[in-house]
Amino acid sequence: MTNSAKHSLSQRISALRSLYKNWRVPTVTEIAEETEDPFQVLVSTVISARTKDETTEQASRRLFKLAPDPRKMLTLKTREIERAIFPAGFYRTKARHILALCRTLVEKFGGRVPDTIEELVTLAGVGRKTANLVVTLAFGKPGICVDTHVHRISNRWGLVKTKSPAETEKALRKSLPRKYWITYNDLLVAFGQNLCRPLSPHCSRCPIEDSCAKVGVASAR
């Protein structure tokens, strides 16, 4: 990344931070700030996959009222977890994953959530996206969580040229200044939900429109 590109990126991040104050905090971030509980961050992140924020919030809160820690979660039946997290996407699969990861947490990690990506991805239903989000939100450790928003917008900006979130994570680890790693996901998720939409983004209202490469943008508002 050139010096001019770095300067442009710093301006974009600064602009997004100003906008972020007016947007709703992503649900998993909100849970992390409220509870400071790695377990609830982990489980709510699992629930959030392919699920709207509002549904994730309601499902997570229902479930944590029943079982706020892995040992209590293991006292529940799969059907009870399914009912609690419905209508989250793939709620039946997620219920099985939640029970399985809780069993691993208790049997292998003494009931604690590990704080490394390498250990987290050994848990049922946990991929690199979830693992990165947990280490950043729950432990304040550097990580780059790449979901569809981060993948799309990073490519749209011309910051990376990748075909998948996994490739985007690798590329960003090489090019994105480390000081932005922890906040990058939150900023781009909120930005993607509110302005930089997948189809017909609100470019006319975007404060960083003039520095965006608009890669793949066929039409805009």
Q: Can you say how many angstroms the Cα of residue 193 is from the centroid of all Cα atoms in its chain?
A: 13
Q: What is the pTM of this model?
A: 0.89
Q: Which CATH architecture has domain 36-139?
A: Orthogonal Bundle (1.10)
Identify which of 150, 190, 179 has the alpha carbon closest to the alpha carbon of residue 20: 190
Torsion of CA 147, 148, 151, 154, to 10 degrees: -110
pLDDT in tens, 159-171: 999 999 999 999 9
**Catalytic residue numbers, as ranges:** 129, 147
pLDDT in tens, 89-146: 999 999 999 999 999 999 999 999 999 999 999 999 999 999 999 999 999 999 999 9
Tell which CATH architecture fits domain 3-25+144-211: Orthogonal Bundle (1.10)
- Which two structure tokens, joined as six digits, stand for 4? 């001019």
Ranges of each domain in the chain: 3-25+144-211, 36-139
